[in-house]
Structure 1
Amino acid sequence: MAYILLRDLDIPDIGKLDVYTANGGWEGFKKAVTQHTPDEVINIVIDSNLRGRGGAGFSAGRKWSFIPKNEPVKYVVVNADESEPGTFKDRQIMEKNPYQLIEGAMICAYAIQATAVYIYCRGEFWDLAHNLEACIAEARQQNLIGQNILGGNWSCDMFVHLGAGAYICGEESALLNSLQGFLGQPRVRPPFPAQKGGGLYYEPTVVNNVETLANVPWILVNGAAEYKKIGTPESPGPKIFSVSGHVARPGNYEVPLGTTFRELLFDKAGGTGTNKAFKALLPSGASGPVIPVTEQMLDTPMTYEALGKLGSTLGSASFILMDESTDMVWAAYKMIKFFKHESCGKCTPCREGTHWLAKLMEHVIHGQATMLDLEKLENVAKQMNGKSLCALNDFAINPILATLKHFRSEYVAYIKTPAPAAKPKQPAPVKKQLEEVAEPAGD
């Protein structure tokens, strides 16, 4: 089967406008603008059941449908702030197949009748940002972007914005704040981005991930019915899995949703490449709960629903593999340090909670913890759950709670002595205290 997203693997020069156009590029956009009304385009995407590829898995078409029709100013924002550890799928699309992203974003813009599209790139993607700007300029010369597109009455421009490297700006409302020049911190919702007052410059805004939008041109050309033939009914279409860690062949793999873990990790990625077995998998970078690798798990289809039943999430599908030599306590410690560093500090439970989780984990790692500290670690994590404006707070507790659930014995091994029995401390007699602090009288 030909690649739908990683088309550079089939067509090495797909990143050039003439090559992209010669291989069906912009046909989906032209079909949308010349043969369909904006509402028809939205309905096609809804019917395809394309789900957001950035993490939440929400219906892309339904998200577009939330934009009010009567507002004169509307925006599309492309979330290209790919900062999740172990995730590098969006980078390959932007580097090797940028026009497919641009085309998908313009189809979305037409569907909601947006006045501008902003591509928000991770700060470290400065090289990709320059290339995207050059591609946008070429598309503008072809009247695919800009004023009176394709000779019609609709006008929409596109811009690229570089972030400053903050992980939190992958969260849509923090991204919008950063794009407006404010601190990259999440907003109070409602209003949501699709509503007046909640989006970019407080106008209705669609925020979509790079991979999500890269699916759209194929859907417009081939139809929703054909798209749903790929994957499963609940999770249709192809998905890019970024595979790294203790694996023989790390890289991006595009496979239909519903492919089993075994097919991806062994048939394509080649297993560990050593005589060691897989021990655990982080299915969504640092943010998703770790799951043990078992025979039953390996035969599970990779879908949003199946990952949920395993007690984790598909998220961005950044698979970090760990073999049996991995110290899971050390891994959890590294992840909580990452979240402590990346917390924006706006919400007290996240700001203080990540600090205390990191501190408690440091005690564990250095052999200074007791069994009571493990209870405290678990209690602090549970108290943080759901108490902040964005999901970073909830992501931060996942490494702790999941490793305590599945690999608790490794924590216990770090505990050198059991916690002493809790006894109330008796204060020393007042007279004795005074004698201990008394000093000889001076002359």
Structure 2
Amino acid sequence: MKRYTYQDIVSTPALLARPVMTAANLDAIVGQILQDIRERGDTAVKEYTQKFDKVTLDHLEVSAAELAEAETLLDPALKTAIQTAKSNIETFHARQQSQPEVVETMPGVFCWRKNVGIDKVGLYIPGGTAPLFSTVLMLGVPAKLAGCKEIILCSPPNAAGKIHPAILYAAQVVGVTKIFKAGGVQAIGALAYGTESIPRVYKIFGPGNQYVTAAKQLVSRETVAIDMPAGPSEVLVCADAQADPAFVAADLLAQAEHGIDSQVVLLALNTELLEAILQEVERQVALLPRAEITRKALENSVAVLVNTPEEALTLINDYAPEHLILAMADAEAFAEQVQNAGSVFIGNYTPESAGDYASGTNHTLPTNGYARAYSGVSLDSFVKKITFQRLTAEGLKNIGPTVEAMAIAEELVAHQRAVSIRLEKMKSERL
């Protein structure tokens, strides 16, 4: 990890920049693949799957036999863990449901809003260096609670032409409608445009690498909505003297092992603590099966010595981390001051891993600074909010003059007449 001081970052903010793809023509590369998917459908999806995933597929859809096989392959303890996580996620997200409330804004004028599930949603589940079956739970549970009628899942196949059994099992647990063997840009294109096999959806959810993120952003300009521009994973840990260096190091490594384009940031409030944490990072990384990937991510990562909690808060809100861990005294009070973060983990005994898997909150979160304006996935992400209004005759009499005056002032006479013609008829009929 690179080491800096608070003054270094203030004078050169680029020192905290996320790692980015060096290919200047990323959009051009991705756009070409998307166009090919649009024009050639399943054939193009299969060709790109062979090119990128090194597997030839006869059929894209996962069969009933493959789903049954997946359940037999999983360890019972993992099945129990998936069920427990699903229950917690369901409990948390179910509390986000709301009932329509009719508001009478003035006598006889009634307004209300109703949540309606998006009919068709697509879930993209990465399966490259790590099969993220937990993301199936994070996306599938709120989709089902929201009342989405079709939940289509795409995930890349392995060298044997199969999707990891834990992904398939989790998909069955949450009620996914159909599952397809497609990853990367080709999966996003298939979900956006539809192919002979893969249905077109109205909104696409799920994290991915920079290619996937670019694909989501490109298709969102033309045919389909997306959850957010969620790219490579990241964490910022803010630690003071009461932090346990081993805990902090473990949290940093937990995010760094996601991929070589991940980034972790440490803010330490004294030099001794910073040194102790970095020593722990070196000790623990050697123990990891994904040590090579993790070390490459650490090359993108930064440790910053800050002098005060106020300096730390300034950097946090400017960086807007996807995950924020506060290993500090009075962490809850400090958390109240945080303005920009995807999800906050408070205290020494709240590892980010808990939120990644099973605490109940959603782990699909805004990255790359988007936490300044975006929220993480929630039940609201899977619904449309439709407004309704109903006016009685009394209500139209009460609001009519206001609408007429505003319409005339905007020189929209037809708008004014839509009210006046009704008021005149009501007057003639003595209503």
TM-score by length of 1: 0.29
TM-score by length of 2: 0.30
More strand by share: 2
